[in-house]
């Protein structure tokens, strides 16, 4: 009874059912693939694109997880960019149409597409150590893919990559339910010699397909072939040899070893098996008679010196926290320590070692610094005046420097490659004008310095000192030598060749050098005034300039007004002093017999933008009355000089010269603002004493300002020196890029100009870094174009160049642009087509013959694509296209990839 009760469902007991179904790794992986297909909507017919349409590939990426150990695969879906519906068809198996199309061979740069012929696919790559797996693992993954694709009717080919990036192997599968395709690949470093030519590859293809004997001798196999002829060149050595020509401009060239590979591809497309014969003893493949040629370039992209210098200015270095003096004291100290170790003494007194000791002379012949003093002296001559005579000296000194320090060969000469388009004009006689920044962007204004000014030459020299020489502290040596040369110019009253009118739209460095030039000119005028000074006792009607004796306390504080009046009373009436010239025919109002003279006045103190900012802050801190009084010093100085030159004059006389709008000659009255009792002009006139300018406190104390500039230059950290120089150098770099890269991309050049303009006005590091990023690509492209173009110009006779004016430039430019169009997945054009028997084609042949030892006799790589449509696996099976790709390298790896179809009703899989 109890047993029956327990078995009855009315008793409310629950029956527990245990599911002992086991999900295998194969099934779990198949489910993951199913989810991937659903996510990317890969079910059903796929689009077929026309032959004439250039395909641009797009990519989607995700991760695929499977297995108990959380195994992960990278999944990448590669597909043509979507087009309008009328341009594509979806009525049949797309892969089958792709494999039939022999006209699209070698048209696409995608690796999988080139090897297997499919334009849409999914690539799975195991992550980590699982990338290198056994054959069992490979078969497991491919079997799971086959199972998943059959069940969900996905026609998109799936590939799996094994063995990592260095020697990748690809295997895949695709099916539409009626025909299935298996994709296999071999990568061999050694291959049987009989399979390294077209005849052997045809036999291999036929054997692999296991075709019936009845169709073995048919000649409907279609073939395409590409033969690649290349030469590769590395720039010479790690040290860039400089000369006087390169030192004048900004650093140009490659910063590191920069290999260049130029490849000419001779192609034959869609020919039948018996059209061209190639076996171990004979070949009909003559590159001169190829149906098409392509020129391509390949570079190992490294920053150019120009963008490297810009980056150095933008980011600076840790050592730049110290001044040039402090850095060079360390150099002297290390030299003293080394000498002390050699001599057995702790120090050398003559080196004056110590934290507060001054560094040795940067231009001394026995200096311990990196560059010889004679070279620095010649370099400074070019910086200050751009002296042509210094070039021979610099070239000789540079040759000696490279020979002694870096053991450059005795046959030293300047770099063979032209550094800029201007050199092409000089060397090769190109008649095309080279545009510059002003002609390309006439509205662009940078806060920098005038072209060919001392500021521009200094910025270029400083950039060379930081990036073009292998030694350190050359920038400190050059900067300290520059500041000492500035002091020498001031002491000897020599001009540095700048305008004395400070241009506030220029960089702060240029403004400070203009102020320094103004100090030199003011000092020269003051000395002239002192040397020619005399007290004017001539008749009032004389037109000669009137001078006076200088006091011994020139530049002292202003004289006390009370003491001056007391001295005036003791001496009696003073003769007129400090007259410059007569003011027309005007006479004093109170003394019509006395002529009115223009006095010698002081120069107003010119100000740079930082001085103006400090002065504005000072005025803002004062009260209104104090602010007015602080701005009256120049006016008071002019009134004092006017009284000294015109004894007995009144304020109205002063206004007739200084502000004639405030005095009416007809009514003999002053303006209303000047007649107001107690106004600032009246107070100033009443407090002004008749003191000539030579006895006044200087408004423009050129000695003090010049010393401040020199002291500041000598003591500021090197990072501040970079801040002063970088707006000038960035403008120089942009001018250079406008010449070198003007025909690459005008929009990118304009964008770079806008970024540099923003940086030079703001001074922010982030703005300069943005400009560096924009300049790097243009610099690289311009250098690559110059490098390839030089190979043409240096190998092709000028008689041939005349026949193709501008065509080589266009060919090289487009070829380099094609290289930069490639993305990380090698999307982009394969090469630039041209005809071999045209004048430009002959120029390419001569260039290749010059740099290739075998003169295009032996290709570096040969590629073949074979198409054959036959029934498989049996003669009664459906006829379908098959494809084999082969890459035969010259002493490199050899690749064979097959796309073999099979009727699913006779599912016999071939083995390779």
CB 722 within 8 A of CB 323: no
The residues, any chain, with a CB within 8 Å of residue 864's CB and separated by 6 or more, are 198, 201, 223, 224, 225, 884, 885, 886, 888
- How many other CB atoms are there within 10 angstroms of residue 729's CB atom? 27
pLDDT in tens, 521-563: 988 887 887 776 544 434 333 333 333 333 333 333 444 444 4
pLDDT in tens, 98-143: 898 888 888 887 889 999 999 899 998 888 655 455 667 777 778 8
User: What pTM was computed for the model?
Assistant: 0.71
> What number is the average pLDDT over the span 324-337?
63
Band of residue 389 on the pLDDT scale cut at 50, 70, 90: low
Measure the CA–CA gap between 282 and 419, rounded to whole angstroms: 46
Burial of residue 469 (number of CB atoms within 10 Å: 0-12, 13-18, 19+): buried
pLDDT in tens, 681-737: 888 898 899 998 888 888 888 899 999 999 999 889 988 999 999 999 999 999 888
Residue 660 has pLDDT above 70, yes or no: yes
pLDDT in tens, 781-827: 888 887 787 777 777 666 666 666 677 777 888 888 878 776 545 55
Of the candidates 538, 350, 384, 373, the residue with the CA atom closest to the CA atom of residue 461 = 384
pLDDT at residue 363, as a whole number: 61
The residues, any chain, with a CB within 8 Å of residue 459's CB and separated by 6 or more, are 250, 449, 509, 725, 726, 728, 729, 732
CB 423 within 8 A of CB 429: no
| Percent of the chain at pLDDT exceeding 90 | 20
Residue 596 has pLDDT above 90, yes or no: yes
- Label each residue of 692-721 as H, E or C: CHHHCCCCCCHHHHHHHHHHHHHHCEHHHH
pLDDT at residue 30, as a whole number: 81
Measure the CA–CA gap between 869 and 878, rounded to whole angstroms: 10
Mean confidence (pLDDT) of the chain = 77
Band of residue 616 on the pLDDT scale cut at 50, 70, 90: confident
pLDDT in tens, 44-93: 888 887 665 667 788 899 988 766 556 788 899 998 877 644 455 666 88
Residue 17 has pLDDT above 90, yes or no: no
8 vs 834, which has greater pLDDT?
A: 834
881 vs 855, which has greater pLDDT?
A: 881
The first and second tokens of residue 795, run together, are 């190998």
Band of residue 358 on the pLDDT scale cut at 50, 70, 90: low
pLDDT at residue 237, as a whole number: 44
pLDDT in tens, 243-283: 777 787 888 877 666 678 888 888 999 898 888 999 988 98
Residue 32 has pLDDT above 50, yes or no: yes
Band of residue 516 on the pLDDT scale cut at 50, 70, 90: very high
pLDDT at residue 742, as a whole number: 65
Measure the CA–CA gap between 106 and 117, rounded to whole angstroms: 10
Alpha helix ranges (H) inside 366-497: 373-385, 390-406, 421-428, 437-440, 454-467, 474-491
> What number is the average pLDDT over the span 34-47?
87
């Amino acid at each position: 009874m109890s047993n029956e009760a327990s078995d009855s469902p009315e008793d409310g007991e629950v029956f527990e059912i245990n599911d002992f179904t086991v999900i295998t790794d194969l099934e779990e992986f198949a489910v993951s693939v199913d989810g991937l297909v659903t996510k990317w909507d890969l079910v059903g017919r796929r689009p077929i694109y026309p032959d004439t349409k250039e395909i641009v590939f797009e990519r989607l990426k995700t991760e695929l997880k499977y297995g108990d150990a959380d195994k992960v695969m990278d999944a990448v879906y590669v597909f043509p960019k979507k087009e309008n519906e009328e341009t594509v068809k979806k009525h049949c198996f797309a892969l089958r149409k792709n494999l039939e199309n022999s006209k699209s061979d070698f048209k696409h740069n995608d690796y999988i597409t080139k090897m297997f012929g499919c334009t849409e696919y999914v690539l799975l790559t195991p992550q980590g150590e699982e990338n290198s797996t056994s054959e069992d693992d490979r078969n497991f993954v491919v079997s799971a893919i086959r199972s998943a694709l059959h069940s969900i009717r996905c026609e998109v080919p799936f590939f799996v990559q094994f063995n990592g990036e260095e020697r990748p192997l690809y295997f895949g599968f695709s099916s539409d339910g009626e025909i299935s395709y298996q994709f296999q690949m071999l990568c061999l470093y050694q291959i049987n010699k009989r399979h390294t030519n077209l005849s052997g590859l045809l036999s291999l293809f036929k054997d692999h397909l296991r075709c019936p004997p009845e169709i073995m001798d048919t000649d409907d196999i279609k073939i395409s072939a590409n033969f690649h002829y290349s030469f590769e060149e590395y720039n010479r050595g790690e040290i860039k040899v400089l000369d006087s020509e390169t030192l004048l401009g900004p650093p140009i060239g490659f910063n590191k070893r920069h290999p260049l590979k130029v490849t000419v591809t001779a192609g034959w497309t869609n020919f039948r098996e018996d059209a061209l014969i190639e076996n171990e003893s004979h070949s009909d493949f003559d590159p001169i008679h190829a149906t098409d040629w392509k020129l391509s370039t390949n570079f190992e992209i490294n920053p150019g010196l120009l963008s490297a210098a810009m980056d150095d200015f933008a980011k600076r270095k840790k050592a730049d926290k110290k001044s040039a003096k402090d850095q060079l004291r360390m150099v002297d100290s290390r030299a003293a320590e080394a000498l002390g170790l050699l001599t057995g003494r702790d120090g050398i007194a003559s080196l004056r070692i110590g934290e507060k000791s001054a560094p040795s002379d940067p231009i001394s012949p026995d200096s311990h610094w990196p560059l010889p003093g004679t070279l620095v002296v010649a370099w400074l001559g070019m910086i200050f005046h751009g002296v042509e005579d210094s070039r021979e000296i610099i070239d000789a000194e540079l040759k000696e420097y490279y020979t002694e320090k870096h053991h450059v060969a005795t046959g030293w000469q300047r770099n063979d490659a032209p550094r800029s388009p201007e050199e092409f004009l000089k060397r090769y006689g190109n008649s095309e004008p080279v545009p510059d920044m002003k002609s390309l962007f006439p509205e662009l204004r940078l806060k920098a310095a005038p072209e060919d000014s001392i500021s521009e030459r200094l910025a270029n020299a400083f950039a060379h000192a930081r990036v073009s020489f292998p030694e350190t502290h050359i920038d400190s040596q050059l900067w300290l030598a520059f500041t000492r040369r500035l002091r020498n110019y001031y002491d000897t009253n020599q001009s540095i060749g700048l305008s004395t009118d400070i241009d506030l739209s220029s960089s702060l460095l240029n403004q400070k050098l203009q102020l320094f030039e103004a100090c030199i000119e003011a000092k020269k005028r003051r000395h002239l005034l002192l040397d020619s000074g005399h007290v004017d006792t001539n008749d009032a009607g004389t037109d000669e300039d009137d001078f006076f004796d200088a006091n011994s306390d020139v530049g002292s504080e202003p004289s006390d007004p009370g003491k001056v009046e007391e001295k005036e009373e003791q001496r009696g009436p003073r003769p007129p002093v400090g007259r410059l010239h007569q003011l027309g025919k005007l006479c004093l109002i109170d003394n019509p017999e006395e002529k009115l003279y223009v006095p010698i006045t002081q120069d107003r103190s010119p100000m740079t933008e930082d001085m103006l900012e400090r002065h504005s802050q000072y005025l803002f801190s004062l009260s209104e009355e104090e602010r007015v009084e602080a701005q009256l010093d120049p006016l008071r100085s002019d009134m004092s000089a006017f009284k000294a030159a015109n004894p007995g004059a009144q304020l109205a006389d002063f206004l007739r010269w200084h502000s004639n709008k405030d005095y009416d000659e007809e009514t003999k009255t002053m303006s209303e603002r000047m007649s107001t009792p107690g106004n600032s002009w009246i107070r100033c006139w009443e407090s002004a004493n008749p003191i000539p300018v030579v006895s006044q406190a200087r408004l423009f104390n050129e000695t003090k300002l010049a010393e401040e500039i020199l002291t500041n230059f000598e003591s500021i950290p090197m990072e501040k020196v970079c801040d002063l120089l970088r707006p000038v150098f960035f403008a120089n770099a942009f001018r250079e890029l406008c010449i070198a890269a003007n025909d690459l991309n005008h929009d990118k050049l304009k964008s770079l100009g806008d970024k540099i303009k923003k940086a030079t006005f703001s001074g922010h590091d982030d703005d300069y870094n943005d400009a560096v990023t924009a300049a790097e690509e243009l610099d690289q492209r311009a250098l690559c174009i110059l490098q390839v173009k030089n190979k043409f110009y240096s190998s092709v006779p000028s008689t041939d160049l005349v026949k193709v004016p501008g065509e080589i430039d266009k060919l090289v430019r487009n070829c380099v642009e094609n290289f930069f169009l490639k993305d990380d997945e090698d999307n982009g054009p394969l090469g630039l087509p041209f005809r071999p028997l045209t004048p430009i084609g002959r120029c390419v042949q001569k260039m290749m013959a010059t740099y290739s030892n075998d003169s295009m006799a032996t290709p570096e790589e040969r590629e073949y694509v074979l198409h054959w449509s036959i029934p498989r696996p049996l003669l009664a099976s459906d006829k379908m296209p098959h494809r084999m790709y082969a890459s035969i390298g010259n002493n490199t790896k050899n690749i064979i990839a097959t796309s073999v179809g099979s009727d699913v009703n006779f599912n016999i899989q071939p083995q390779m």
